[in-house]
Structures are given as structure tokens and as C-alpha cells.
Structure 1
Amino acid sequence: MALFIPTYFSPISQYSEIVKSDTVVFEMEDNFQKQSYRNRCYIYNSNGKQLLSIPVKHPLKSARKKTKDTLIENDFPWQDQHFKSLQIAYRTSPFFDLLEDDIAPIFEKKYKYLQDINIDSYLFITDALQLNSDFSKTDNYKLETQKNDYRFLADRKHQPKKTTEKYIQMFDDKHGFIENLSILDLLFMEGPNALSFL
């Protein structure tokens, strides 16, 4: 069993551990943390590293809220912006055309809760990589740490220094190799071969 926090098109570091795990368990009882991968991912565009962030509603009081209860702010077209950013960044990548129709529904469906889009992004990636997509969810917060506790990978500040072997990226001739981007970067560049890098 390996314990993860569902994140938005997770960084490569998270999928490096998911592919090695027999059983994926998603922590559903953690507190939402700002500026984490719970509602953001990074892609590679012509200017370098680009942030795609899902806007969330914050409670009026400073009370903590659980990630599973975090609501998405849908007052402006963030999904259109994210999809256009992916199209602009990756339209000439080797595998974007093959995956575009499959990923498009994630940017068309109206989500209320952050956890729902994160689970859908997980299902899209596991399908594209032809991984077992079965998972379970916690019903109480797991206090004890264990050998396969990867919840820290949802935190931008606690990432491994090296996550994969270098692969060709869209704009690496201009900006060099950028480590640990969203799994989408690796998938659009390597397609099914992405598994060999993970």
C-alpha cells in the first residue's frame, strides 16, 4: 500500500512512485495547503516553466478546511485558459494530437470540488500510461508514517532532487532541461514510452 494525496496532473515525482506501487491509497482527510500541487501543476512553454493553478474558494475565517471539501472558484474560465496553455505549449509535441481528445473532457466538465478533478486527472494519466487505475480513499487521517507514505510529494518544497532521466522537452534548446514538471510534459513528449522514464 502506498499513500498519496490526489493532486492536479501530478508532478513526475509522484507518478514515479505510483508506477512502483501495488495499491494506491489517496489521503482524503488532510488539510488543504496553499501553493501545493493539490491545485497546481507546472508545464513547459516557450518562456520556460509555466504555472497552471486551479482557483479555489477560501473560507472567510482562517479555519482550516480539508482538501476533500475544497471548492473550485468557477467565476472565470480557468479551464479554457489551462487547455489553451496546453495546446500552445504542446501542439507540436509527438503525442499531444493522440491524447488531445481524451484529455479535453477534463477541461469541459464543470467541477465543484477540487478532489474530483484531481481524481479525474489521475484516471486520465493511468489510462494513457496503461496502468492499473484502482485506488482507495482514506476515511480518517493517517497519523502514522510508513515506508510507503508519499503524501509529502504534494508539497512543492519537499521534492526529490532528481526524478527521471533526462528526456527531450519542447523548449530545452532555449531553456535547458526542467526537472519534475507535470506528468503531462513527459506524457506528451514520450507517450507510452514515458513508463520507461518512470
Structure 2
Amino acid sequence: MEMEQMQEQSVDEASQREAKIKKKGFPVWLQLLFLLVLVFALRTFVLGTVYVKGSSMEPNFHHGDLVFINKLATSIGTPKQGDIVICQLHSDEQREKIIKRVIGLPGDVIDIVWNGDSENVEYYLYINDELIEEPYLEEPIMTKGEIEYPFTVPEGSYFVMGDNRNASSDSRRTSIGAIEKKDLVGKVVFRLFPFDGFGFIS
């Protein structure tokens, strides 16, 4: 009888120790380390935030806007015409990140054509000989830039322009040109600030 009680007591103690181990789980330091690694991985490879600098994307984005970017949309996914993207420049003039709109895809033929009116000069955007309507622009295009047209977008690259066409350094400049896919940092998907513009980017 006494032996049975001792065996029951040993089983109870073992069960209690096992329960304590399960209840305790991973050490706090290990949980914190896992959290830090997860945050680092997300910030490095998946998500990020960027402050808009300058006026090149007005009237749709302004200096000081804080935007949320999806890095996988450009690293793994395929950018589409009209996407707002963050580009990393590597030219001697500029080594910074800029925000632009994807205009031309790999293989597209870009042409910016004068309207023929010397008094009211405007330029029209053509892609693959098709006139492109751009309702997001506030002003007509007044400058075609420095590159030669028609311009064929190289494979693996994208032609980008700012929505404020007359105050934007973009693919129309020879020092920038088409942006390689590896230099597309991410797609802008959400505006965090200012609060009156808070929401997803369509």
C-alpha cells in the first residue's frame, strides 16, 4: 500500500513538472529574439515606410507624405502600368530614393509628341503608338526631356515619370533613364500621413 502511494506521488510530481515546463514555454529572451528577427525580416524584405520628398508627384503626393510600401510587389511580383513605385537611383547626380509612376513596361515603345502649336506648346504621351489618357495629371506635359524618341524600354526595366511632369526628374533624363527592376524598392500601397489622405492607394 505504501509502495503504491509512493508511486502515485512520483507520477504526480512528474506530471506537475511537465505541466510547469509546458506552462513556462519559451524563455522571454528567446521570444524577444524571435520577434526582433521577424521585424527585421519584414522591414528588409516585405514592408517599409518612406517619406515623400519634393513636388514631383503633385497633385497626388506631396512633400512630407508618409507612405507604406510593399517590397514583394516589385521584387517577386511584376509592376504594372500606373503603379506608384519607389526607385533607387545610382547616377553620379542622384543617389537617392524617388517616388514615381510606372509608365512603360519592358519592351514598350515610348513617344512624347509635340502638339504642333508653337504658341500653346504641349506634348502628348504615346505608348506603342497609342495615345495615353492621364486623368491624374493636373497640367499638360510641357517638356519631353533629353532622351531620344521613340524610346524602347529595355528588357528588365521600367519607364517612370512623376505626375508633376514639368517639375520631375525621371526616365526622360539621360542621367536616369529606364529603371531596372532590381532598383524598384517597392510599390506604394498605403498613405499613412497626412491623415486626410489616409488610406489605400488605388
Instruction: Note whether the superposition's TM-score is higher than 0.5.
Output: no
Greater relative CO (CA pairs within 8 A, separation 6+):
1
Bigger share in strand: 2
| TM-score, normalised with respect to structure 1 | 0.28
Higher helix share: 1
